[in-house]
């Protein structure tokens, strides 16, 4: 083995160990146990989260349960089930309720948020207010069932409900309620086909 190969092997070993060490350090600080946490992951509002067993976060993830913003108080509930795997650069932002079921796989560059910056109901009044200073509005529960695969670049908006076993196509923008396993895709997303063998309603 050359010196270069030895160094490369050391880096490979460290790349496998470091996310587990970060998860252990986070557990000691907050009492919440992740399986692994990638580099530069940001986790806010741990006291408002329930995290199941063997949950993994990729690099540059941003997971937040927002209790205070812009002088407003919120009561978020963010639930990640067992064996949830969240890939790199994914942002989950909760002010009301987001639940992600057991065994879900979330690709990279996904956004899941149960609110907006401002409300579409009073947008005319907000036009002269920068988006970052608008109160968080239009909050509605997001519920993602078990074993859902959300592909890269998808956006899951407030009020969305996705049935267990569903697949969300890459780069989809989802704001719908689906009570059967389905392939969901598009902008805006729609049901492409159902994945169970039941006849279409």
**Mind listing the domains of the chain with CATH numbers?**
3-194 (2.160.10.10)
Closest CA to 92 of 69, 116, 113, 75: 113
Residue 6: its pLDDT value, please?
63
How far apart CA 10 and CA 93 sit, in angstroms, is 36
Sequence-distant (6+) residues with CB within 8 A of 5 are none
CA nearest neighbour of 179 among 168, 164, 192: 164
Beta carbons within 8 Å of 69's beta carbon, 6+ residues apart = 95, 135, 136
pLDDT of residue 194: 96
The reported pLDDT for the residue numbered 76 is 97
**Alpha carbons 18 and 135: distance in angstroms, whole number:** 38
Return d(Cα 69, Cα 198) in angstroms, integer. 45
Contact between 127 and 107 under an 8 Å Cβ cutoff? The reply is no
Per-residue pLDDT of the chain (201 residues; tens, 9 = 90+): 787 676 667 666 667 778 888 898 888 888 899 999 999 999 999 999 999 999 999 999 999 999 999 888 999 999 999 999 999 999 999 999 999 999 999 999 999 999 988 777 777 777 788 888 888 888 999 999 999 999 999 999 999 999 999 999 999 999 999 999 999 999 999 999 999 876 555
């Amino acid at each position: 083995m050359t010196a270069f190969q030895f160094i490369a092997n050391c880096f490979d070993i460290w790349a496998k160990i470091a996310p587990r060490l970060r998860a252990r350090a986070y557990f000691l600080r907050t009492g919440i146990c992740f399986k692994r946490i990638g580099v530069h992951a940001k986790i806010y509002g741990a006291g408002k989260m329930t995290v199941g067993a063997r949950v993994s976060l990729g690099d540059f993830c941003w997971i937040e349960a927002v209790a205070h913003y812009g002088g407003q108080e919120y009561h978020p509930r963010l639930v990640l089930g067992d064996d949830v795997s969240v890939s790199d650069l994914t942002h989950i932002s909760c002010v009301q309720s987001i639940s992600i079921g057991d065994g879900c796989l979330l690709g990279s560059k996904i956004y899941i948020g149960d609110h907006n910056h401002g409300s579409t109901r009073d947008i005319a009044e907000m036009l002269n207010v920068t988006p970052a200073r608008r109160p968080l509005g239009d909050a509605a529960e997001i519920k993602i069932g078990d074993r859902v695969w959300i592909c890269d670049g998808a956006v899951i908006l407030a009020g969305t409900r996705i049935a267990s076993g569903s697949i969300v196509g890459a780069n989809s923008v989802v704001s719908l309620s689906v009570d059967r396993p389905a392939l969901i895709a598009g902008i805006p997303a729609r049901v492409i086909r159902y994945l169970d063998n039941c006849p279409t309603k």
